[in-house]
A and B are shown apart, each in its own frame.
Chain A
Amino acid sequence: MAKVFRMVAKDWGPFEEQPMTLFSAEHLTMVFGGLVAVDDFSLELNGGDLIGLIGPNGAGKTTVFNMMTGSLKPTEGKISFREEEITGLKPNAFTRKGIARTFQNIRLFQDLPVIENVMISYHGRLRSSFMGAVLGTSLYRREEKEMRDGAMALLQRVRLSDFANERAASLPYGQQRRLEIVRALATHPRLLLLDEPAAGMNPQETQELMDFILKIKEDFDLTVLLIEHDMRLVMGICQRIKVLDHGATIAEGTPKEIQNNPQVITAYLGEAGENGVA
């Protein structure tokens, strides 16, 4: 199984030398009406990083995520990827440049077969023209086969190949999560953003997910940023952690530093006697 996977990874061709800074967000600010959802957020990701973004509910994590994937245009600030400014581009352009994401609440193409869910991610790299696809030129037929074989190999990797022709909606929850990650992988990302990947999973499943994330990071030479509530997962695999509260970055450091940071503890548990003061 692993062999197939490595073969797929290799098919993507040798990765060119990664620039040291893969992704950078500088002074991102997002204002909704009168509410400052994210205030002056900066982040730099180097190739091969595995960074966690945590914070209490409403801290602005998902807003940061949406800015980093192009779903939201930041009110202020600049986003660069591989030394190219991409602020203000559409989400599909972010993806085609190499930033893939998953969603907090799973968003699969429910009524389509599992394999087509993955094949859709290949479409952005299709070379055939529209007419070529309709008329079925030999180039298109070859590409279609490549898409199908590639998708199948990825599905095998996550033990979903038996369900290739089932509707995506019919899969159990845990498998839907895996399918979503595989679908993001099929876009050939350099940077993978995971939005609460362990949401709704039991400890056993979370453990499997941790191993899975580490494995794909290795095999696909990925840089990973994840938002997560599950501290076990974040503390277990992240190299560095950034903590948001009320839109502002309150701490940054290794898991150990974060665990002992008084500000972080305050943000999560509230200040001693805070409720009494009013």
Chain B
Amino acid sequence: MNKTRDQLLTGLSVIGLFAFLFWAEGNTSEYQIRLLNNTAIFITLAVSYNLINGICGQFSLEPNAFVAIGAYTSALLTMSPAEKQLSFIIEPIIWPLSVISIPFWLSLIIAGCVTGFLAFLMGFPVFRVRGDYLAIVTLGFGEVVRVVANNLQTITNGPLGLKGLVPHTNLWWSFGFMLLTLFFISRLTKSSFGRAMKAIREDEVAAEAMGIRSFRYKMMAFTVSGFFEGIAGGLLAHLITTISPVLFTFFLTFNLLIIIVIGGLGSTTGCVISSAIFVFGSEALRVVEEPFSIGALHIPGIPGMRMVFFAIMLVMAMIFARQGIMGRGEFSWQRFFEWLQRTGGRLRSSR
């Protein structure tokens, strides 16, 4: 049966991935491991962001807020009381947070729940509006969270941020949660609930007329998306070990938007592919930020030049390839083999 075969192949790929991670842990440089971690976290983020933007079709711009909430929640929960006392030099941290210190995995789950809950609350005002207004409201929310983080000194330590986090995030955590997110969201997308979300994307009026409670499913997509983005935020915090409000500006959202658009809005597979391209691509593009000379012309390094490249890529994608890499298609083993056969055939015939 094809189904058994597909499940077997998926299982083998997961084992293969873990075997690779096992190998990578001992045989690659710290820098490469960091890139792998980044990739996994960005995949988690992009896939969950895609649920609300691509699957449910609600163009929203808030992931930087969710990542920030997740990152701060998880960081505050894992830091040791001593470390907190050292960090909070301007104003001391408020009481319950000052003594709490819990295991990393638990802090991630709590970060996910807190973010999911805030997403749920935020959904009530946000989904009163649609289209452009939705984008504007969510964009505003992102800014609010950043400003709050900047000013709520007794909790977030203001602009100084939180330093000296233990680098708990390793390949196992980041890829583990990535797989969990992929499993959950792709199953959700394929289910009847995912179909209801897609119906809302296609035509909300018609979806309502077919008995779909559009508000409820938008809230559902938003909350699930917030949950996983919160977890990813916690992972990110414990990867870079220092967080401050400047990390969570609109640029983060913008990067994720580029990823999901280039991957193909609405395709989980596309998100995975383009996240990997984005992380490795932005490393490769570091050269454009270094000083270089063409003949007599000497150009000093321009920091931020990479963003120009990505912006141009987004413009190009919008003009020439609005479908992105995958369109709305998803990976399946059947399609994969067909693709292999086609490319194989093409290679043979070109020889």
Instruction: Please give the residue numbers on chain A whose beta carbons come within 8 Å of chain B beta carbons, in ascending order.
Output: 69, 71, 90-92, 95-96, 100-101, 103, 107-112, 116, 119-126, 128, 130, 133-136, 140, 143-144, 147, 183-184, 186-187
Complex alpha-carbon distance, A120 and B196, angstroms: 6
Complex alpha-carbon distance, A120 and B212, angstroms: 8
Which residues in A have their C-beta under 8 angstroms from that of B317? none
Is A110 touching B202 in the complex (CB atoms < 8 A)? yes
Complex alpha-carbon distance, A130 and B188, angstroms: 8
Is A95 touching B209 in the complex (CB atoms < 8 A)? yes
Pick the contact of A123: B188, B195, B203 (CB < 8 A): B195
Is B192 touching A107 in the complex (CB atoms < 8 A)? no
30 chain-A/chain-B pairs, Cβ below 8 angstroms: A69-B209, A71-B205, A71-B209, A90-B208, A92-B212, A95-B208, A96-B211, A103-B209, A108-B203, A109-B198, A109-B202, A111-B328, A112-B199, A116-B198, A119-B192, A120-B195, A120-B196, A120-B210, A120-B212, A121-B211, A123-B193, A123-B195, A125-B211, A126-B192, A128-B192, A130-B193, A133-B187, A147-B192, A184-B210, A186-B210
Is B199 touching A140 in the complex (CB atoms < 8 A)? no
Complex alpha-carbon distance, A128 and B209, angstroms: 21
Which residues in B have their C-beta under 8 angstroms from that of A92? 208-214
Which residues in B have their C-beta under 8 angstroms from that of A112? 195, 198-199, 202
Interface 0/1 of B5-32, CB less than 8 Å to A = 0000000000000000000000000000
- B22 → A minimal CB distance (Å): 28
Is A100 touching B209 in the complex (CB atoms < 8 A)? yes
Q: Add 20 more A-B contacts to A121-B211, A124-B212 (CB < 8 A).
A: A69-B209, A92-B211, A92-B212, A103-B205, A107-B205, A108-B206, A109-B202, A109-B203, A111-B328, A112-B202, A119-B192, A120-B210, A123-B195, A123-B210, A123-B212, A130-B220, A133-B191, A133-B193, A140-B191, A187-B211
Complex alpha-carbon distance, A266 and B195, angstroms: 49
Complex alpha-carbon distance, A95 and B211, angstroms: 5
What 4 A-B pairs come out closest when comparing CB atoms?
Answer: A124-B211, A109-B202, A95-B211, A133-B191
Instruction: Please give the residue numbers on chain B whose beta carbons come within 8 Å of chain A beta carbons, in ascending order.
Output: 184, 187-188, 191-193, 195-196, 198-199, 202-203, 205-214, 220, 328
Known: A110-B202, A130-B193. A135 touches B211 (CB 8 A): no
Is A107 touching B193 in the complex (CB atoms < 8 A)? no
Which residues in A have their C-beta under 8 angstroms from that of B195? 112, 116, 119-120, 123
- B184 → A minimal CB distance (Å): 6
Known: A91-B208, A92-B212, A100-B209. A144 touches B192 (CB 8 A): yes
Is A111 touching B202 in the complex (CB atoms < 8 A)? yes
| Nearest chain A residue, comparing its CB with the CB of B210 | A121
Which residues in B have their C-beta under 8 angstroms from that of A144? 191-192
